[in-house]
Amino acid sequence: MKSYYTENILEAPLDETVCWCSSVNKQAILDAIQNGARNMDDIRRMTEACTQGRCKELSPRGRCCSKEIKILLEAESI
């Protein structure tokens, strides 16, 4: 698992971890969006991202992954 992150998730490589507690990468989030995910509940159900509640502790960002997931959802819905 990578221990670094790209500041702007939109510029991150597809294999970059977004959700550290569930080990979900950007590609999995984008795949879920392509397969119909439209909100955080859909992302949680389809990828298990943002379900363990340990990202603040495990992520190098020091916070929950939901901010990055919401950015990806907004960018892909345009």
Tokens of 22: 């569930």
Higher pLDDT, 1 or 44: 44
Q: What are phi and psi of 47, to 5 degrees?
A: -125, -15
Q: What is the pLDDT of residue 78?
A: 65
Tell me the whole-structure pTM to 2 decimals.
0.91
Question: Which CATH number is associated with domain 15-76?
Answer: 1.10.10.1100
Q: Are 63 and 54 in contact (CB under 8 A)?
A: no
- Give the start-to-end residue ranges of the domains of the chain: 15-76
> Per residue in 53-74, pLDDT tens?
898 889 999 999 999 999 999 9
Q: What is the pLDDT of residue 1?
A: 47
Tokens of 28: 């999995």
